[in-house]
Amino acid sequence: MEFLVVKKSGMLTTIQDTGRMSYQKYGISSCGAMDSLSLRLANILVGNDEGEAAIEITLMGPVLQFIQDGVIAITGANLTPKINGKEVPLWRSISIFEGDVLSFGMAKEGCRSYLAIAGGINVPIVMGSRSTFIRGDFGGFEGRALKAGDAISVKESGQHLDSVLGRVIPPKYTPNYGEKRKIRFVLGPQANSFAAEVIHQFSSDIYEILSESDRMGYRLKGPKIPHESAPDIISDYITAGSIQVPGNGQPIVLMADCQMTGGYTKIGVVIGVDIPYLAQQKPGELIQFERVEINEAQLLWKKQEQFLSTIKMYNK
């Protein structure tokens, strides 16, 4: 059933879920939300399964008009959302009524907002996911970003809407995207292509996110990372978070829409719990890396999953 109509599209507004993880061996990008943590939390707030499809809104948001009553939640970046001109809170489930207009402004903090709707966005499942892959022209809404005039449908919620209304992420648990902290990584599969002192220096240097960055990868500018020998390798597997170092020595961090193979050396891989934080950093912002060991990365992932379980219990 149609639930909302797009009046203005915003800069880049797409439908995303947690991605199509079963087709990477065939060269298909996993896609999915850039900030999967915010998407999962938004879905918890409206009573959906964590991986349901929601709307990802980048930097400058859309204008949406609702044609049915329902319950929504907005998480992630603060794009000053307003309903009928009145600002509404993030990280909380709220009512929406027929005829209401939801608008977003420019990002005040963070880069990407997530709009979840009770029931979940109803678009065709393509290779196990509803995520949009614009470069491949499939998934989401006709394989593209949303534009004015699009009518979006939602599925029927498995819960009574009154039972999910008013759910909230307590402030002490709310991700802080304005916080400046290092982005942690583990050594990559070609770490031996770099001298030990180069890897150490990489953790001290500061890099700027360039405007050429997108959902495929973040291009960075900063101190050149020298190779021990050639920068090229026989193409091998790539995952989101991989830190490639091409011949110019300027790193590229691959993100949700990244390709599945690549021929540049990888000095490291951003750990899973820090990819959402990186995805909330905007072009022009400065970032710094910090090396951790794989066992620490695994413990941090376990801690994140325990946190999500806590949020579920809190909102039962």
Of 32, 73, 89, 17, nearest to 258 (Cα)?
32
CA distance 180 to 185: 16
246 & 159 share domain: no
Same-domain status, 241 and 278: yes
Strands 232-237, 261-270: pairing is antiparallel
Q: Which of 123, 153, 175 is the last residue of a domain?
A: 175
Regarding whether 164 and 25 lie in a shared domain, the answer is yes
Q: Mark which of 156, 175, 194 sits at the end of a domain.
A: 175
**Separation between Cα atoms, residue 272 and residue 297, nearest integer Å:** 8
Domain endpoint, select from 175, 209, 231: 175
User: Do 52 and 167 belong to one domain?
Assistant: yes
Residues 112, 142: one domain?
yes
Domain count, the chain: 2
pLDDT along the chain (316 residues), means of 10: 94 97 90 97 96 97 97 97 97 97 92 97 97 96 98 91 91 89 96 94 96 97 94 90 96 96 95 97 96 97 95 84
88 lies in the same domain as 237: no
Q: In the chain, where does DSSP find H-type helix?
A: 36-45, 161-164, 196-202, 275-279, 294-314
pLDDT score at 229: 85
Query: How far is residue 240's CA from residue 137's CA, in Å, rounded to a whole number?
Result: 20
Same domain flag for 34 and 158: yes
**What is the SS3 string spanning 106-145?**
ECCEEEEEEEEECCCECCCCECCECCCEHHHCECCECCEC
Residues 195 and 52 in one domain: no
What is the signed CA dihedral for 124, 127, 133, 137, rounded to 10 degrees? -70
Angle at 21 between CA 295 and CA 42, to 5 degrees: 80
3-class SS at 233? strand
Residues 75 and 17 in one domain: yes
- The verdict on 152 and 224 lying in the same domain is no
CATH number at residue 209: 2.40.100.10
Query: What is the extent of the structural domain holding 240?
Result: 183-312
Domain check: are 134 and 227 in the same one? no
Q: Which letter does DSSP use for residue 157 in this model?
A: P
Do 215 and 155 belong to one domain? Answer: no
pLDDT of residue 106: 86
